[in-house]
Structure 1
Amino acid sequence: MSKIQLPNGIQAVQARYTYQEISDYRDNPLLEALPPILSKSEVIQAMAQYPYFDPSEGQMDAHYRFHLIQRLFSSFFQPLPVHLDLESRISRLIRQGYISRNPLAAHHNESLIKGYEDIVSGRIALSQNTTAAGLTIIGASGMGKSTTVNRILHLYPQVVAHSIYNGQHFNQLQTVWLKLECPHDSSVRGLVNNFFAQMDAILGTDYFAKFGKNRRLSAQSLLPVVSQICRNSCLGLLVIDEIQNLNARSSGGEQMLNFFVSLSNTLGGIPLIFIGTPKAVSVLQSEFRQARRGSGQGDLIWQPMKREDRNWHLFLQGMWEYQWLRKPVPLTNELSNCIYEQSCGISDIAVKLFVMSQIRAITSGKEELTTELITQVAKESLKLVQPMLNAMRSGNPAKIAKYGDINTINIEGFVTAEQNKVEVSALIDDFQKQRQEQKANTEKLKTNAIFRLSILGIEEKEARSSVEKVIASSSGQLGLKELVQKAYKLSINVSDDEVELSGKYRPQNDLRRIVQQGKEQGISAIQALTDAGFVQTEFDLGAV
């Protein structure tokens, strides 16, 4: 999607409308401007992220490798079946929420007028559409809830700029999604101000200055304002993270719960997603209306991975190849069981343990991962979470209940649509095989590019460095010609404009330069190459 600069300096994606296979999604610019609905394999491709890795980096000095290992924190994401399930639910939520809010329909303008009247009168009127769907995601800290939701949300543009639809002028900014964090003090005003500030950041508005700083306006009186802003911006999805910060027994927590119920009723079809740790369950269930409101796409209870689960194998296998050690070891059942035992299947802890164990292997001089080393690192470096992990290992509900953030709860009556995990696992396996093939093709591409650069007079070491830098910085697949061109420019440290100058930046032994100079002197190409020593015309027959 192409981006455009709005008059307020904010960037938005220019709306491009596509035909919708589902009839419910047709003739609605808000739906037709969304990215296509992805298949499972497309979701895996879009969400997967693997850091750049060259096995030769394992031979670098320790102080360099300490930096390289950090790539796992910023550049590693292994899609799992739960991620595909969540992507599908969010995709449905956004689209279903827009069905009843077609800006071209007559009732849309009516809702804007009614919203303005609500602001003037200060009353909160229920929307005619009070069936907004929702989703509640509950899971222990470190499971990747927020990270996954963020990756899914960024599959969609946050702001879409409409101008012409079906030949008619349609000037509208569409905010596809907005994500807020529940304040630690359960303050409704804090959440509302966060909403104003986030809207200002993405739309270039001044809502916070107009309403957030006005202390004469109560949080409750701002509800019609929030609702109207959502209507004006065609908000598609509102995500509230850290919902466990609410305290149902405090006045602030109760006010926040009532605010959410009122907000859902007045927004008119805008779906809400709540994300929190198991502590949030008692908060949400204390208010039946809100518990019902968060169940439009079912509750998602994000449990830690099981030792025998296929998900654990996929996750660990995807991470294991990134060993910046001089003695990388293959993943064995013994090593897999060891990391599981020390992390209890919590992905965040598993990644951190994998990183810390590599660092310990480097500093100790052992340069390889062993169960003894991993166990020792966990014992020394995970002291703060050991009480919680021990509670999980015990399986004792009373002990687990002491630590709400890791409580592996099971809500009665919970029903979720099970996906075909075998099919999903097979897709992920195929994707990983494709990655291995891509890596092999990349190595072949690098070799060919380095050879061609050497012909152009670039030293092999410099050529290899330039090729690897170009590949690492590229967001897509490069062809050989494009790779050689970019690496050549990088090697001779010139801009695109400069490299176009005929031969000016070509090295002395560049064959093209030699031929060009010969042509300028009236010498044939073969003679110019002969004079330069690249073509031998006399042979010592006695040596044959």
Structure 2
Amino acid sequence: MSKYPALQRVTAVYDPTHEGNPFLAAMPEMLSHDAFMKAIRSLPPLPAGLGAMPSEERRQHLPMLSSLFVPMDYTYVLYDQLYRAISSTYSTRTMIEEIQRTNALFRGDPFSSYATQPATGSILGVPGVGKTSSIRRSLSLLPQVVEHEKYQGAPFFCKQILYLIVECPSDCSVKTLGLNIAVAIDKAIGSNYAQQLTSLRSAAASAIATQVKILCLTHHVGLILIDEIQNAVATAQKNKQIKPLIKFLVELTNDTCTSAFFVGTPIAEELFISQEHLKRRTRGMRLLPFKPDGAYRAFLQAIWPYQLTQDAAPLTEQFANKLYDASGGIPAYIIKIFQEAQAQALLQGERCVSVKTMQRAIERLAIKVPRTFSGGTHISDFEFPPSEAPAPPDEGSPSPVKRLYANKRGRKPVQRDDVDLTLASQFATPATPLEDWLRERGLLEDWPC
């Protein structure tokens, strides 16, 4: 039985194994792999009375395909990483030290501590691969706010925020990011800190940054997720304003011992590797699309029953290859093409989806997938438990990964003559040097010196 009900706010229940640390003792339990997969899966039932529905009504139900979520092993790895990041926040500071940090921020004095640093990192992935939806669904399994009233028989009133999700401001402004964090806190606990910070917009960015740090300590924030971090790259290249923002985030994690993760597309890697002090703090998962393998087929088998046409088309090799080559193995594109193909079939009065209607849908959507991707791990390659230890991440620039296709690309091989020079490199061996091979076939003529 779960420690907490499936609510956004819960009353603290303490684990006696963490006596003396109420915030760590109030953490929800970590779910097992099977329990997590069952809880996070979203496979809604098909509409009732589908067989008697006209085409117009069937098309109205097509948006339900966007709510499909098929969890994979990489999703559990993300959940495990984020859960441990939250736990590390509450493991790195004691109650007394937290009060000392808050007082030091109010006075504007530096605070020195020997506590280990909180977890920091990044989760980057190809757009549409499912990183943001996986993160939000994983965190939704945890209560966002734990309300404390009494601990060890004594009154103990406070609200513990396990996580915050904020979007990186496109202008890389410290004030805007500080306001975004305050808004996220307000949504979590029903406060009005954002309104108070708005009145300080004319104040220096450092003053707002200090207020945000105090809020993170006051409400014991465990993890801050900065989403769409690639927004900072374009601004950094344009007006070089990224350094104040990054400096603020680094100070925030150091001064409050709050874990922080950056989420975005591989473009952000350019920023991370360009700043020496960011390399260590931004290591993490780099997600690439499906390979045309068993994991991809399992994903198709999970979504294929969601056909709202009159007849259900069987999942054939031709369908699977066509869908993969058009989508590049990106889950969001797979769902989009599958949805639009059904819309085209219903509009044309066809009883089921065909390869022709799928091609028509691909042309309508004008999907163009890159030929290469930044370095990383394909979501097909995660398995739980892992069969072998993963390779350590490269600290330098990620090497590009060639685009994969279900159908082999390029021209078909042609039959060549025995004396075709293109065969020379294939048949020449140490036993039969290239010179002898050419001479035997009359392709080499000796001239006297």
SS in 2 for 1:63: helix
Q: Does the residue aligned with 1:331 lie in a helix, a strand or coil?
A: coil
CA distance in 2 between counterparts of 1:46 and 1:83 reads 12
Distance 1:162 1:31 in 2: 12
Between the aligned partners of 1:349 and 1:220, the Cα distance in structure 2 is 43
How much identity, in percent, do the aligned residues show?
A: 28
- Structure-2 residue corresponding to 1:64: 57
Query: Structure 1: how far apart are the matches of 2:226 and 2:265?
Result: 13
Q: One-letter code of the match for 2:106?
A: Y
> Does the 8 Å CA contact 2:93/2:115 hold for their aligned counterparts?
no
Question: Which of 208, 232, 235 is the equivalent residue of 2:194?
Answer: 208
SS of 1:44's equivalent? helix
- After TM superposition, give the deviation of residue 242 of structure 1 in Å: 0.4
CA shift at 1:213, angstroms? Answer: 2.6
What residue is the counterpart of 1:111 in the other structure?
A: 101
Number of the residue aligned with 1:300: 285
Say if 1:61 and 1:154 are closer, same or farther in 2 by CA, change over 3 A.
Answer: same
**1:161 aligned counterpart, secondary structure:** strand
Amino acid paired to 1:154: S
Q: Is the 8 A contact 1:50 1:77 kept in 2?
A: yes
Q: How many residues align?
A: 379
Say yes or no: does 1:321 pair with 2:309: no
Asked if 1:285 is matched to 2:277, the reply is no
Say if 2:226 is the partner of 1:255: no
Q: Do residues 347 (structure 1) and 312 (structure 2) align?
A: no
Q: Is the counterpart of residue 420 in structure 1 residue 385 in structure 2?
A: yes
1:254 partner SS: helix
Letter in 2 for 1:33: A
SS at match of 1:302: strand
User: Is residue 258 of structure 2 the alignment partner of residue 266 of structure 1?
Assistant: no
Q: Deviations over 1:97-133 (max 9, x none)?
A: 2112343xx3232222222222xxxx66566536221
Shift of 1:267: 1.9
1:108 and 1:183, CA in 2 relative to 1: closer, same or farther beyond 3 A?
Answer: closer
Could you report, residue by residue, the CA deviation over 1:207-254 in whole angstroms, capped at 9, with x for unpaired residues?
222223313322223222211111110101100000001133333222
> How big is each residue's C-alpha offset from its partner over 1:309-361, in whole Å with a ceiling of 9 and x where there is no partner?
x3212221111111111110222222111111110011111101111111111
Match for residue 39 of structure 2? 46
Matched, 1:171 2:157: yes
Distance 1:260 1:410 in 2: 25
Q: Hey, what's the Cα distance between the residues in 1 that align with 2:345 and 2:94?
A: 59
Given that 1:69 and 1:355 are in contact with CA atoms closer than 8 Å, whether structure 2 keeps it comes out as yes
- C-alpha contact 1:127 1:265 (8 A) present in aligned 2: no
Query: Could you tell me which residue of structure 2 aligns to residue 541 of structure 1?
Result: none
Give the SS at the match of 1:70. helix
Instruction: State the match for 1:162 in structure 2.
Output: 148
Deviations 1:284-323 (A, max 9, x none): 222121221123xxx1011001112x32122211111111
Distance 1:130 1:29 in 2: 19
**Structure 2 counterpart of 1:93, one-letter code:** A
Quote how far apart the aligned CAs of 1:17 are.
2.4
1:157 Cα offset (Å):
1.0
Matched residue type, 2:101: S
Counterpart of 2:303, as a letter, is M
Matching residue within 27, 48, 73 for 1:34: 27
Instruction: Give the TM-score of the pair, scaled to structure 1.
Output: 0.65
The one-letter amino acid paired with 1:16 is V
- Cα-to-partner distance string for 1:409-457 (whole Å, 9 max, x where unaligned): 349xxxx99743689xxxxxxxxxxxxxxxxxxxxxxxxxxxxxxxxxx
Cα pair distance change 1:231/1:52, threshold 3 Å = same
SS at structure 1 position matched to 2:10: strand
Contiguous gaps of at least 5 residues in structure 2: 389-449
CA distance, structure 1, for counterparts of residue 303 and residue 240 of structure 2? 45
Q: Secondary structure at the match of 1:238?
A: strand
List aligned pairs for 1:438-457, cutoff 5 A.
none
Correspondence for 1:86? 78
Q: Is the 8 A contact 1:193 1:208 kept in 2?
A: yes
Give the 5 Å matches for 1:381-400: 381-383=364-366, 385-386=367-368, 389=369, 391-392=370-371, 400=372
Query: Structure 2-normalised TM-score?
Result: 0.79
Q: Is the 8 A contact 1:188 1:252 kept in 2?
A: no
Alignment pair present for 1:232 and 2:224: no
Superposed displacement of residue 165, structure 1: 1.9
- The alpha-carbon distance between structure 1 residues 418 and 136, as it changes in their structure 2 partners (threshold 3 A), is farther
Aligned position for 1:99? 91
Report deviation, 1:372. Answer: 2.1
The letter of the residue matching 1:73 is: S
1:246 counterpart SS class: helix
Which segment drifts farther, 197-206 or 140-149? 197-206
Q: Deviations over 1:269-292 (max 9, x none)?
A: x11110011110011222121221
User: Distance in 2 between the 1:155 and 1:181 partners?
Assistant: 21
**What RMSD in Å do the two structures reach over aligned CA positions?**
2.4
Secondary structure of residue in 2 paired with 1:305? coil
Distance 1:210 1:130 in 2: 32
* Distance in 2 of aligned mates of 1:167 and 1:61: 64
Kept after mapping to 1: 8 A contact 2:73/2:382:
no
What is the CA distance between 1:191 and its match in structure 2?
A: 0.9
CA-to-aligned-CA distance 1:363-394 (integer Å, 9 cap, x gap)? 11112122222122102x222x32xx1x32xx
* Cα pair 1:59 1:326 within 8 Å, conserved: no
Range 313-322 or range 130-139, more displaced: 130-139
Shift in CA distance, 198/410, structure 1 to aligned 2, threshold 3 Å = closer
CA distance in 1, matches of 2:66, 2:256: 37
Match for residue 502 of structure 1? none
Distance 1:109 1:135, change over 3 A: same
Whether the 8 Å CA contact 2:85–2:118 is kept in 1: the answer is no
Which stretch has the larger CA shift, 25-34 or 365-374?
25-34
Output the amino acid matched with 2:365.
L
| 2:316 alignment partner, one of 326, 329, 332 | 332
CA distance in 1: counterparts of 2:172 and 2:92, whole angstroms: 32
| Structure 1 alignment gaps of length 5 or more | 5-10, 393-399, 401-406, 424-544
For 1:382 and 1:226, locate their aligned partners in 2 and report how far apart those are by CA, in whole Å. 43
* Matched AA of 1:14: T
